[in-house]
Amino acid sequence: MDGLAALALSIALVGVGFWALIVRRNLIWKLLGLNVAAGGSILFLVALAYRPGARPAIVGLGPGPAADPLPQALVLTAIVIDFATLALALVYVIFLTEHRHTQDVHRLEREEEWPQP
Amino acid sequence: MAAALSGVLAYVGCGLLGFIGAPRLFSWLALLAGSAAFLLWAPGFPEALVGGLPWGIAVAGDMWALGLWALGIVLHAAVLLHARGRAGAFHPLTTVLIGACLAAGLSRDLFNLYVLMDLTSLLALVLIAFERRPRAVWAGLQYLVLTEVGLILYLFGLGLVYGKLGTLSVSSLAFRGVDLRDPALAVGAGLLLAGTAVKTGVFLLGLWLPQAHGQAPTEVSVLLSGIVVKVGVVALARLAEAFPVGNLLVALGIITGFGGLAYAFWERDLKVFLGFHTMSQLGYMIIAVGLGAGMGALLYVVAHGLFKGLLFLAAGEAVEGTGRREIAALAGQLSVPVALSLAVGTWAIVGLPPLAGFAAKGVLAQAAPAWTKTVLFALGVGTAASFAKLLPLFRPVGKGRVGGLGVLTGAVVGFGLAGILAFPELTSWRAWGEAFLAVAMGYALYLGLRAVAPPLARFTFDRMLVSILLGTVGIAALVALGWLS
CA distance B266 to B258: 13
Residue B150 lies in a domain: no
Rounded-to-integer distance, Cα B356 and Cα B307, Å = 7
pLDDT at B142: 93
Residue B62 lies in a domain: no
Type of residue found at B465:
L
Task: Report the chain B residue with the minimal C-alpha distance to residue A69.
Answer: B55
Which one of A88, A105, A114 has the shortest CB-CB distance to B134? A114
CB B241 within 8 A of CB B63: no
Burial class of residue A65 (count of CB atoms within 10 Å of its CB; 0-12, 13-18, 19+):
exposed
pLDDT at position A44, please?
Answer: 92
Radius of gyration of chain A, Cα coordinates, nearest whole angstrom: 20
Contact A14 B466 (CB under 8 A): no
Question: How far is Cα A20 from Cα A26, in angstroms, rounded to an integer?
Answer: 10
Residue in chain B lying closest to A70 (CA): B55
Q: Which chain B residue lies closest to A100 (C-alpha atoms)?
A: B134
pLDDT in the model for residue A115: 60
B156 to chain A, closest Cα gap in Å: 6
Assess contact for B193 and B248: CB atoms under 8 A.
Answer: yes
- Interchain contact, B159 vs A41, CB within 8 Å: yes
Say yes or no for a CB contact (<8 Å) between A18 and B111: no
* Cα(B310)–Cα(B316) distance, integer angstroms: 10
Residue A3: is its pLDDT beyond 80?
Answer: no
pLDDT over 70 at A112, yes or no = no
Q: What Å distances lie between residue B114 and B44, B107, B110, B148, B279, CA to CA? A: 23, 10, 6, 11, 21
The residue range of the domain holding A25 is 3-113
Residue B177 lies in a domain: no
- Counted residue by residue, chain A has a size of 117
Nearest CB to A108 within list B138, B149, B162:
B138
Q: Which residues of B touch A112 (CB under 8 A)?
A: none
Q: Which domain holds residue B318?
A: 245-454
Q: Is residue B128 part of a domain?
A: no
- DSSP states of A16-43: HHHHHHHH--BHHHHHHHHHHHHHHHHH
Q: Output the average pLDDT for chain A.
A: 85
Alpha-carbon distance A63 to A55, whole Å? 9
pLDDT at B61: 87
3-state secondary structure of B56: coil
In the DSSP assignment, the letter for residue B49 is E
**Confidence (pLDDT) at A116:** 54
Tell me, what CATH number does A87's domain have?
A: 1.10.287.3510
Question: Inter-chain contact B122–A88, Cβ cutoff 8 Å?
Answer: yes
Q: What is the pLDDT of residue A39?
A: 93
H or E stretch covering B50: strand B45-50
Residues of B with CB under 8 A from a CB of A: 55, 111, 115, 118-119, 121-122, 125-126, 129, 132-135, 137-138, 140-141, 144-145, 148-149, 152, 155-156, 158-159, 162-163, 323, 325, 460-462, 465-466, 469
R_g of chain B, CA atoms, integer Å: 21
- Check CB contact under 8 Å for A99 and B134: yes
Contacts of B126 in chain A (CB under 8 A): 88
The answer to whether residues B165 and A50 touch, using CB atoms and an 8 Å cutoff, is no
A114 and B461 in contact by Cβ < 8 A?
no
Residue B48: which H helix or E strand, with range? strand B45-50
For position B42, what pLDDT does the model report? 83
Contact partners, residue B243, CB within 8 Å, separation at least 6: B173, B178, B180, B189, B192, B193
Residues of B in contact with A21 (CB under 8 A): 145, 149, 465
Cα–Cα dist B296/B282, whole Å: 13
If we measure between CA atoms, which residue out of B319, B310, B350 comes closest to residue A116?
B319
- The per-residue b/e assignment along A68-78, b for 16 or more CB within 10 angstroms, e otherwise, is bebbbebbeeb
- pLDDT digits 0-9 by tens, A7-40: 899 999 999 999 999 999 999 999 999 999 999 9
Rounded Cα distance, B125 and B102, in Å? 18
User: What was the pLDDT predicted at B216?
Assistant: 92
The answer to whether position B163 is within a domain reads no
SS3 at position B109: strand
Residue B147 forms part of a structural domain: no
pLDDT in tens, chain B (485 residues): 888 899 999 999 999 999 998 888 899 999 999 999 999 988 888 888 887 777 788 888 889 999 999 999 999 999 998 887 777 789 999 999 999 999 999 999 999 999 999 999 999 999 999 988 888 999 999 999 999 999 999 999 999 999 888 888 888 888 888 888 888 899 999 999 999 999 999 988 989 999 999 999 989 999 999 999 999 999 999 999 998 888 899 999 999 999 999 999 888 889 999 999 999 999 999 999 998 878 889 999 999 999 999 999 999 988 888 888 888 888 888 888 889 999 999 999 998 888 888 888 888 888 888 888 899 999 999 999 999 988 888 888 888 788 888 889 999 999 989 988 888 888 888 888 888 999 999 999 999 888 888 888 888 888 999 999 999 999 999 988 877 66
Single-letter amino acid, residue A74: L
Kindly determine whether residue A93 and residue B141, on different chains, have CB atoms separated by under 8 Å: yes
Decide: B309 and B78 in contact? Cβ < 8 Å. Answer: yes
B98 in any annotated domain: no
Q: How far is B137 from chain A (nearest CA, A)?
A: 7
| Domains identified in chain B, total number | 1
Q: Name chain B contacts of A106, Cβ cutoff 8 Å.
A: 460
The torsion angles phi and psi of B367, rounded to 5 degrees, stand at -80, -10
A107 min Cα distance to partner chain B (Å): 11
Closest residue in chain B to residue A30, using alpha carbons only: B145
Interface of A with B (CB under 8 A): 14, 18, 21-22, 27, 30-31, 34, 37-38, 40-42, 44-45, 48, 70-71, 73-74, 77-78, 81, 84-85, 88-89, 92-93, 95-96, 99-100, 105-106, 108-109, 114-115, 117
Distance between CA B90 and CA B79 in Å, rounded?
Answer: 11
Q: Which of B359, B259, B264, B270 is nearest to B307 (CA)?
A: B359
Which candidate in A19, A70, A80, A116 is best for mutational testing of the B interface (most B CBs within 10 A)?
Answer: A70
Establish if B134 belongs to a structural domain: no
Chain B residue with the nearest C-alpha to that of A94: B137
CA distance B333 to B320: 12
Q: How many domains are contained in chain A?
A: 1
